[in-house]
Amino acid sequence: MDANTLRSLLTQLQQGQIDVEQVVRRVRLAPYEDLDFAKVDAQRQLRVGFPEVIFCPGKTPAQVIGIAKELLAQDQTVLATRATAELYAEVQAHIPAAEYDEDARAIVVRRHVQALAHGRVAVVAAGTADLPVAAEASLTAELMGCRVDRLADVGVAGLHRLLLNLESVQAARAVVAVAGMEGALPSVLAGLIDRPVIAVPTSVGYGASLGGLTPLLTMLNSCAAGLSVVNIDNGFGAGYMAGLICRVAESGNAQEAQ
């Protein structure tokens, strides 16, 4: 929505031609900011509570910078996933406030991250090689206002490692379970705790793991209830879902308090 359209809306509001709710509805459904190479969904945060996220592969540095600057012009948090250190260097030269999370392979510019009082997420990684995907999930949930407890290297090859840390996992509102190889960890977790488990198959594994297809099918065929599955290596999607679960719970608590 451009400035002229917004002025027109506010003028109509001032003159009593429309009410506040109509303005909010019109702004929420405003289409996008057209940069030619991208149509930035600047109203996404208003609609769904979190800004549009930049997926970096396939985009030039200039395109990533352009989208990021548009989001910042709207005073929104920037999250650019699957970013290289080389891309970050170019972005940071134009946006000095940009930070690079090497573990999550993401560029971030933080704006107004509101902490959820009861938003606690556990991100559990089966192996050390699964940590980049787990870090992406953790960063996403944190930017949504969640407190994240990270637990690494507790796969089923040494199940006692998980059992000895189960209490902290059980304390979370939502659990992200990240696993490659055969992908059994999420099923085990879902059978042990009364929390929603979001399973993330990773492309970690030997040839028969088929680039993550084997753990994906394992997770999809789980007999454990309370388990949902995102796509291979999609840490962002899992972290976002965990954040939404926490937000809905937070909203419910606020309504009960009233």
pLDDT digits (tens, 9 = 90+) for 33-76: 778 888 888 778 877 888 899 999 999 999 999 999 989 988 88
Tell me, yes or no, whether 89 and 124 share the same domain.
no
Residue 100 shares a structural domain with residue 205: no
Greater model confidence, 132 or 75: 132
CA distance 227 to 196: 6
95 and 209 part of one domain: no
99-101 β-sheet, strand order: 54-55, 78-81, 106-109, 99-101
Q: Quick one: 239 and 134 in the same domain?
A: yes
Q: Are residues 50 and 81 in the same domain?
A: yes
- Could you tell me if residue 136 is inside a domain? yes
Q: Does 181 map to a domain? A: yes
% residues pLDDT > 90 (the chain): 67
- Among 59, 89, 109, where does a domain finish? 109
Considering the domain architecture, whether residues 237 and 134 belong to the same structural domain is answered as yes
Q: What is the pLDDT of residue 23?
A: 80
Which residue among 83, 109, 135 closes a domain? 109
Q: In this structure, are 73 and 181 located in the same domain?
A: no
In a domain, 25, yes or no: no
Last-in-domain residue among 63, 82, 109: 109
Q: Tokens 């719970």 — which residue? A: 249
Q: What CATH number should be reported for the domain holding residue 126? A: 3.40.50.1970
In the predicted model, is pLDDT for residue 172 greater than 90? Answer: yes
State whether 83 and 195 are in the same domain.
no
* Residues 230 and 133 grouped into a single domain: yes
Q: What is the model's pTM? A: 0.84
Task: Look up the domain containing 57 and give its range.
Answer: 31-109
Report the pLDDT averaged over residues 94-120: 90
Per the structure, how many domains does the chain have? 2
pLDDT single digits (tens) 1-40 = 555 667 788 888 889 888 888 887 777 666 777 788 888 8
Helix axes 85-94, 61-73, angle to 10 degrees: 50
| Residue 23 counted as domain residue | no
